[in-house]
């Protein structure tokens, strides 16, 4: 339980970030903190950092690295609009992207992610797997959301984003899992996934998959890369938009090449579905939902994880 507290507070920080007014609804003009307090999400992230250090998830090196990420992303969240069109505005988002990638790849020293599931099977005959709760990857996702991922408007202000998101999630999930089944990577399951003696395993896995894996990966590939490409390729019209969606999807597929070429191809398809959802709705939440729909359906209705190919 003590090691869960930093993650809970980190998710509270993400919720506070998601619920705050966006740039579109904030007062115009430069953002300075001389006359106002730091945002609630930054304070919650700082609390999560302190708790992670106190329970042993961070040593001195990891604590300094995460603290630096908190400071950089909090500053850029407030200062980005002042630096639009300058070399600082061009450089800092990519620096933040590089740091978040290092965190997500567990390349930052001093972070000790706890092993929460070790060599377990969801069903008899399923491949065994292990799962770590990745505090560094969760921080990477929050860093990207706070500093570089554009949001269209406040939650609930645009109900029209739900329909294209649901369409993308259904089509992407159905096609990806049917192709995975046809290629022998997985097959329909006959029982509900469970780990004997661990009734918390399924909700724990789904929570970590949604709020760590899906958020961090979609924030990087779609929120950072696709959004940057879309701005650059906007003068090209529809071909430029297609390229902005396709290139990050291909990179997302290549990141899954360790599972084999079929896994990479399926991940590319999922990236295309998530990318279309983001392009259609201008909401990073849409891309996260599409990604999570594929992962959750795979776990609940098919053998999991997929066989290597």
Task: Kindly write down the DSSP assignment for every residue of 284-297, as one continuous string.
Answer: HHHHHHHHHHHHHH
Q: What is the pLDDT of residues 193-215, one digit of tens each?
A: 999 999 999 999 999 999 999 99
For residue 154, being part of any structural domain is answered with no
Q: Which of 81, 73, 56 is nearest to 143 (CA)?
A: 73
Do 141 and 40 share a domain, yes or no? yes
For residue 179, being part of any structural domain is answered with yes
Find the mean pLDDT for residues 53-74. 96
Do 122 and 215 share a domain, yes or no? no
pLDDT for residue 292 is more than 90: yes
Give the containing element (helix H, strand E) for 131. Answer: strand 129-132
pLDDT for residue 34 is more than 60: no
Do 198 and 290 share a domain, yes or no? yes
- Separation of alpha carbons 100 and 83, rounded Å: 21
Distance from first CA to last CA of the chain, Å, rounded?
Answer: 37
pLDDT for the residue 31: 44
For residue 153, being part of any structural domain is answered with no
- Separation of alpha carbons 117 and 120, rounded Å: 7
CA distances (Å), 19 to each of 8, 41, 224, 306, in order?
17, 10, 20, 36
Q: Show which of 128, 148, 168 is a domain's final residue.
A: 148
Do 178 and 279 share a domain, yes or no? yes
Do 170 and 117 share a domain, yes or no? no
Segments in the chain forming alpha helices (H): 5-19, 40-54, 60-79, 87-104, 135-147, 162-182, 201-208, 215-218, 227-233, 238-255, 261-281, 284-301
Q: Show which of 107, 123, 148 is a domain's final residue.
A: 148
Q: What is the pLDDT of residues 212-263, one digit of tens each?
A: 999 999 999 999 999 999 999 988 999 999 999 999 999 999 999 998 999 9
Do 135 and 164 share a domain, yes or no? no
Do 244 and 220 share a domain, yes or no? yes
Do 140 and 184 share a domain, yes or no? no
Radius of gyration (Cα) for the chain, nearest Å? Answer: 20
- Separation of alpha carbons 227 and 149, rounded Å: 8
Do 23 and 62 share a domain, yes or no? yes
- Say how many domains are in the chain: 2
pLDDT for the residue 23: 46
Do 142 and 1 share a domain, yes or no? yes
Do 102 and 18 share a domain, yes or no? yes
pLDDT for the residue 27: 41
Contact 291, 276 (CB under 8 A): no
Q: Are strands 115-120 and 129-132 parallel, antiparallel or unpaired?
A: antiparallel
Chain-centroid distance, C-alpha 123? 27
Extract the tokens encoding 218: 């979609």
| Angle 281-287-292 from CA coordinates, rounded to 5° | 140
Q: Show which of 99, 121, 148 is a domain's final residue.
A: 148
**Mean pLDDT across the chain:** 90
Do 167 and 303 share a domain, yes or no? yes
Domain that holds residue 19: 1-148
pLDDT for the residue 84: 86
């Amino acid at each position: 339980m003590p090691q869960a507290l930093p993650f809970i507070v980190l998710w509270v920080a993400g919720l506070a970030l998601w619920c705050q007014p966006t740039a579109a609804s904030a007062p115009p003009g430069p953002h300075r903190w001389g006359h106002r307090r730091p945002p609630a999400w930054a304070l919650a992230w700082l609390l999560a950092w302190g708790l992670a250090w106190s329970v042993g998830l961070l040593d001195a090196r990891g604590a300094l690295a995460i603290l630096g990420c908190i400071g950089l992303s909090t500053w850029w969240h407030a200062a980005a609009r002042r630096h639009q069109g300058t070399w600082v505005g061009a450089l800092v988002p990519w620096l933040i992207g590089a740091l978040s990638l290092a965190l997500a790849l567990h390349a930052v020293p001093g972070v000790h992610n706890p092993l929460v599931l070790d060599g377990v099977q969801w069903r008899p005959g399923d491949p065994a797997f292990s799962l770590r709760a990745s505090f560094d990857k969760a921080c990477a996702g929050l860093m990207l959301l706070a500093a570089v991922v554009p949001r269209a408007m406040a939650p609930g202000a645009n109900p029209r984003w739900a329909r294209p998101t649901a369409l993308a999630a259904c089509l992407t999930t159905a096609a990806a899992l049917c192709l995975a089944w046809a290629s022998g990577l997985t097959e329909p399951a006959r029982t509900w996934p469970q780990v004997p003696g661990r009734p918390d395993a399924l909700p724990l896995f789904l929570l970590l998959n949604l709020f760590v894996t899906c958020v961090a990966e979609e924030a990087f590939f779609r929120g950072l890369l696709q959004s940057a490409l879309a701005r650059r390729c906007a003068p090209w019209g529809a071909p430029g938009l297609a390229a902005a969606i396709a290139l990050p999807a291909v990179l997302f597929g290549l990141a899954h090449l360790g599972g084999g070429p079929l896994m990479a191809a399926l991940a590319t398809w999922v990236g295309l579905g998530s990318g279309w959802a983001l392009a259609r709705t201008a909401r990073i939440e849409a891309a996260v939902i599409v990604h999570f729909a594929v992962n959750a359906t795979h776990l609940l209705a098919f053998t999991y994880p997929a066989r290597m190919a």
